[in-house]
Amino acid sequence: MTPIHIPVLSKQVIEALGLRPGGIYIDCTLGEGGHTLRILESTDLPIKLLGLDTDSHAVEAAKKNLSGYLNQVTLLNKSYTNLLNESKKIGFNQVQGIIFDLGLSSMQLQGTNRGFSFRTDSPLDMRFNDSQQLTAWHIVNLCTEMELREILKELGEEPYAKRIARSIVKSRPVETTVQLARIIVQAAGRRKGRVHPATRSFQAIRMKVNDELNNIEKGLDQASNMLSKGGRLVVISYHSLEDRIVKRFILNASKDCICDPRVLECSCEHKAYLKNVYKKVVKPNKREIELNPRSRSARLRAAERIET
């Protein structure tokens, strides 16, 4: 069995899904199969699961980790942006629960040639899908200084975006993660706290390479349309940009009107089709953070389909 990372908020995910006999569930961010495995281990109910991931290496690892449940799972090397089509192909038209865990997997972070981490020296890649042409190298070496600054500012919320972008452009060509991290540290300086100075910039470049924010919106829209009445949508995010998208999506889907509040009369004809499961966002407790430090920034939101 492939070593499996600790899935974040796994107990809360299972609780939020509210598993039903004969239910069909989809893990849109399969990774090495951590959440899917915990779900299957938690119940004797006859349920089925579909797992999707654009990372072919992760899917292969998940097949090994879920080998004891192959009669219950279908695993596909596909993006959740194609959730509706891929689900319909295998007869999953309506489902009882869908989960998104938007964080990186341990395999991606610890891989020596994927470029996700500045802690190992590797080529500037950062692709979830290695058949994609655009890599981090293209972003770092071909974007203008203005484009780089906007990427770091908007996607990384990096306060020193201008300084870092200028330093990257002056240092080209930049070939490896360690070289890039060194440039960022020299430009922005060391900072107090446990977060490495390069964290925000690496996050921003990775998100740009994989078009992550746009993909989240596409995935949530398709997922909500696939849920049967009473079905649950569960999303774990790790930073404010992701969580803002999820929060706004659930809020709008829970309203009977999404017109501009300055408009006196509703013209959108929008009807609520989701409701919040929890009044407040769910966060890991102190014990979970101690066991799995990567969970410290995790935020779980869940919604239930109220009509189909």
**What is the per-residue DSSP string for the chain?**
-------TTHHHHHHHHT--TT-EEEETT-TTSHHHHHHHHT--S--EEEEE-S-HHHHHHHHHHTGGGTTTEEEE---GGGHHHHHHHTT-SSEEEEEEE-SPPHHHHH-SSS---SSS--BS---SSTT-S--HHHHHHHS-HHHHHHHHHHHH--TTHHHHHHHHHHH----BHHHHHHHHHHHH---SSSS-TTHHHHHHHHHHHHTHHHHHHHHHHHHHHHEEEEEEEEEEE-SHHHHHHHHHHHHHHT-S--S-TT-SS--S-----EEES-SS-B---HHHHHH-GGGGG-EEEEEEE---
Residue 4, pLDDT > 80, answer no
pTM beyond 0.85: the answer is yes
Query: pLDDT-derived band of residue 219, with 50, 70 and 90 as boundaries?
Result: very high
pLDDT over 70, % of the chain: 94
- 204 CB burial (10 A radius; 0-12, 13-18, 19+): buried
Cα separation, 272 vs 262, whole angstroms = 20
Bigger pLDDT: 139 or 264?
Answer: 139
Residue 157, pLDDT > 60, answer yes
pLDDT over 90, % of the chain: 80
Residue 90, pLDDT > 90, answer yes
Cα separation, 177 vs 167, whole angstroms = 15
Return the biggest CA–CA distance within the chain.
Answer: 60
- Kindly give the interhelix angle for 145-156 and 199-210, rounded to the nearest 10 degrees: 100
**Dihedral over alpha carbons 87, 79, 232, 2 (to 10 degrees):** 100
Amino acid identity of 107? M
Average of per-residue pLDDT values in the chain? 92
Residue 105, pLDDT > 80, answer no
pLDDT at 107: 59
pLDDT at 112: 59
CB burial of 62-91 (b: ≥16 within 10 Å; e: otherwise) equals: bbebbeebeeebbbbbbbbbbbbebbeeee
Residue 113, pLDDT > 80, answer no
Strands 299-305 and 227-237: what pairing? Answer: antiparallel
**For range 20-31, the mean pLDDT:** 96
- List, in order of start, the domains of the chain with CATH numbers: 10-107+212-305 (3.40.50.150), 115-210 (1.10.150.170)
Residue 3, pLDDT > 70, answer no
pLDDT at 119: 86
**For range 279-287, the mean pLDDT:** 94
Bigger pLDDT: 266 or 182?
Answer: 182
